[in-house]
């Protein structure tokens, strides 16, 4: 990993390098994605079947596109019961955490004949995209479905690409069933996003699409935004560790690599006030890379987007961390809770040396769908809030409106919106005539 002394200039250079990983920089794929979406919109199922044949080398039909209950039971039979037990334990933690996020509708009334409020309504139908292919992430299935279920979404529709045998990965199916998916379809890629956004004969149109995917999926979600809502345009995974001389270098190195193994574009950054720790972490990283199974991916990630940054003091370290706004941030310092209070921008914050990032990925309960590419400056983790909408409520009695109607008319008139003013005035026109 490159060791760099932290300055305003080096921070700027690093930010520019990290932003190269954003899906917004992959415009060369946009026309291909647009063609896929247009065809799905025009041809529906026929386009889905054609693209699945072309990209996944699988023949699907109206009779086989939807996963059956028999296929789900077959999946249960093939998954290690111990893993099913772990999935269920994780589900309890994830559900418990997200239930604390639920909001209730509220109303407030005044003695003057007014009532104001906010009505919370779950979305009716949500689409969850689950990647297939080389990587299978049942944990991501749980994280995307559970908050929708807790929010009270009526129908959760999941899409995922089939394997070459025409089936969905058993652990994916088990996780989906346990989490509460209502329908599961064997289709992936940009074509699946198109189906969820526009609807086909087989797949219903949804109100919102969530879930990770490759660059084609990310660009497709970006393109259909407006037809439907989306969670975010997710970029490659990131971890930033804030550490001082008290940190365990072996732990820090292991945590950095836990994200570097995701993707050649993943980012792993250590910001520390200790030159000695920096050297020790670098040595530990080199030792781990030699024995880990995804060695080539990890090494490319570290070569391109791995940094050890040396800060003059912890305030400078925190300032740089806030500028980078990493998806995952670990704080391994003498006073981690004090440091945490100064952190402004991070998707998820892990406090102390026994709160390693994979704890959040799989088991603790908070959602692991997090803002990336610096968007933690203004985006939040996926939550129950993403699966509800809010309606404002207004009630005024005649007496309440009468007391302030001239104020509203004056405001409308100042904007030259006479129909607005008239909408209020007409309710009291008889009164005005009597006064004359």
In 3D, which of 22, 21, 27 has the Cα closest to residue 264? 21
User: What is the rounded CA–CA span in Å between residue 325 and residue 302?
Assistant: 18
Six-digit token pair at 358? Answer: 């994979």
User: What is the rounded CA–CA span in Å between residue 151 and residue 149?
Assistant: 5
Six-digit token pair at 237? Answer: 């995974």
* Options 98, 328, 368, 405, the catalytic residue: 328
User: What is the rounded CA–CA span in Å between residue 241 and residue 324?
Assistant: 12
Residue 167 phi/psi, 5-degree rounding, is -115, 165
In 3D, which of 45, 25, 90 has the Cα closest to residue 358? 90
Across 63-219, the runs of DSSP E, i.e. the strands, are 106-109, 114-122, 125-129, 155-160, 183-186, 208-210
User: What is the rounded CA–CA span in Å between residue 210 and residue 121?
Assistant: 18
In 3D, which of 390, 389, 396, 397 has the Cα closest to residue 118? 390
In degrees, to the nearest 5, what angle opens at C-alpha 46 toward C-alphas 40 and 50? 90
Is 262 among the residues known to form the active site?
no
* Options 178, 327, 330, 353, the catalytic residue: 327
Is 327 among the residues known to form the active site?
yes
Q: List, by residue number, the catalytic residues.
A: 327-328
């Amino acid at each position: 990993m490159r060791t760099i002394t932290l300055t305003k200039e080096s921070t700027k250079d690093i930010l520019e390098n990290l932003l190269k990983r954003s899906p917004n920089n992959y415009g060369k794929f946009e026309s291909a994605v647009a063609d896929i979406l247009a065809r799905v919109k025009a041809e529906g199922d026929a386009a889905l079947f054609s693209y699945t044949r072309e990209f996944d080398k699988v023949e699907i039909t109206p009779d086989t596109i939807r996963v059956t209950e028999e296929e789900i039971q077959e999946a249960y039979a093939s998954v290690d019961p111990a893993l099913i037990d772990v999935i269920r334990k994780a589900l309890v933690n994830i559900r418990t955490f997200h239930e604390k996020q639920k909001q209730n509708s509220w109303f407030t009334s005044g003695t003057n004949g007014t009532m104001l409020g906010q009505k919370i309504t779950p979305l009716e139908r949500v689409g969850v995209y689950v990647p297939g292919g080389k990587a299978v992430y049942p944990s991501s299935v749980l994280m995307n479905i559970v908050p929708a279920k807790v929010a009270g979404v009526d129908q959760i529709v999941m899409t995922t690409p089939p394997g070459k045998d025409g089936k969905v990965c058993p652990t994916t199916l088990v996780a989906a069933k346990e989490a509460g998916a209502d329908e599961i379809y064997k289709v992936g890629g940009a074509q699946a996003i198109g189906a969820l956004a526009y609807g086909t004969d087989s797949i219903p149109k949804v109100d919102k699409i969530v879930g990770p995917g490759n660059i084609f999926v990310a660009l497709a979600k970006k393109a259909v935004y407006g037809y439907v809502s989306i969670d975010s345009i997710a970029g490659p995974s990131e971890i930033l560790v804030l550490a001082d001389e008290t940190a365990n270098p072996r732990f820090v190195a292991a945590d950095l690599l836990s994200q570097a193994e995701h993707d050649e574009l993943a980012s792993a950054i250590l910001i520390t006030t200790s030159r000695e720790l920096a050297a020790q972490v670098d040595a530990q990283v080199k030792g781990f890379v030699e024995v880990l199974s995804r060695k080539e991916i990890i090494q490319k990630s570290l070569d391109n987007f791995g940094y050890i940054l040396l800060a003059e003091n912890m305030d400078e370290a925190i300032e740089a961390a806030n500028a980078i706004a990493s998806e995952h941030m670990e704080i391994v310092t003498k006073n981690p809770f004090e440091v945490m209070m100064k952190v402004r921008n991070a998707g998820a914050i892990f406090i102390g040396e026994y709160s390693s990032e994979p704890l959040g990925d799989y088991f603790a309960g908070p959602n692991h769908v997090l803002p990336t590419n610096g968007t933690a400056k203004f985006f939040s983790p996926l939550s129950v809030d993403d699966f509800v909408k809010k309606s404002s409520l207004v009630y005024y009695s005649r007496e309440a409106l009468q007391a302030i109607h001239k104020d509203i008319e004056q405001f409308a008139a100042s904007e030259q919106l006479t129909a607005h003013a008239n909408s209020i005035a007409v309710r009291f026109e008889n009164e005005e005539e009597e006064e004359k």
